[in-house]
Amino acid sequence: MTIWLVSLVGGVFLALLSYRWRGASAVKTLLVAMLRAGALTLLIALLLDAVAGLPHPVPALVALDVSQSWLRGGDTAAWNNARARARSATKDTLFLMGDSVRAGALPDRPTDAATRLRPLI
């Protein structure tokens, strides 16, 4: 919002500065000065990279480790809890990481032999 205010003030100031010494009729000069102020406002906003809409939150990326280490102690409660949390947190795509990183549906049991984070990062 601040960038748009700066752009508006700058555009109006530059338009008034460029039309202050002209001797044409006031109505015609005012109309052309307003059009120039609008164009200069948009140009300044473009140069300052102003936002052109309302901000909205970016959805979170969710990745779940599907390596067999979840089942190391023989207890599946932690795995089931992680599955439920990943399912509730994802809005778009769920990434599964283990031997590789891939998008897909949640498996019933983790099957990958290792966890490699480098492809995810």
> Rounded to whole angstroms, how far apart are CA atoms 117 and 6?
44
pLDDT digits (tens, 9 = 90+) for 35-72: 989 999 999 999 998 888 887 888 888 888 888 888 88
pLDDT band, very low/low/confident/very high, at 23 (cuts 50, 70, 90): low
Is the pTM higher than 0.85? The answer reads: no
Determine the Cα–Cα distance for residues 24 and 115; give it in Å rounded to an integer: 75
pLDDT of residue 24: 61
Secondary structure of residue 73 in the 3-state scheme: coil
Residue 104 has a CB neighbour count (10 Å cut-off) of: 10
Q: How do residues 73-95 score in pLDDT, each as one tens digit?
A: 888 888 889 889 988 888 888 89
